[in-house]
Amino acid sequence: MMSIKKTDCPLLQKGMKRTRKTVTLETKMLVIRKMEAGKKCANVCSSLSLAPATVSTITANTEKIKQLAQKTAKLPASNVS
């Protein structure tokens, strides 16, 4: 049987859920460019207001994100009148 660990976060203690923050493709590409330029994770996190886990996940999925960026760049613009 697993025990439930209490958290120090007062919001989670009251039963409120954390909200998720959407990271755009442009922001992901910016993170990748900064990391490839040799910036440290802590610097990227503070400059873009992202959690270290988010930056780590983005760098781990670099190839998938680059492929997605190439596909979206090739899509034609829709004709919206």
Domain that holds residue 63: 23-72
Residue 12 lies in a domain: no
Tens place of pLDDT for every residue, the chain, 81 residues? 455 555 566 656 667 777 888 999 999 999 999 999 999 999 999 999 999 999 999 999 999 999 999 998 887 766 555
Q: From CA 74, how far away is CA 56, in angstroms rounded?
A: 27
Does residue 40 lie in a domain region?
Answer: yes
- Number of domains comprising the chain: 1
The confidence score (pLDDT) of residue 77 equals 65
Whether 27 maps to a domain, the answer reads yes
In this structure, is residue 5 part of a structural domain?
no
Can you say whether the dihedral through the CA atoms of 35, 37, 43, 49 is positive or negative? negative
Q: Is 16 among the domain residues?
A: no
Residue 81: inside a domain: no
Cβ 25 vs Cβ 69: under 8 Å:
yes
Q: Residue 66: inside a domain, yes or no?
A: yes
Cβ atoms < 10 Å from Cβ of 51:
10
User: Which CATH number belongs to the domain containing residue 35 in this structure?
Assistant: 1.10.10
DSSP 20: P
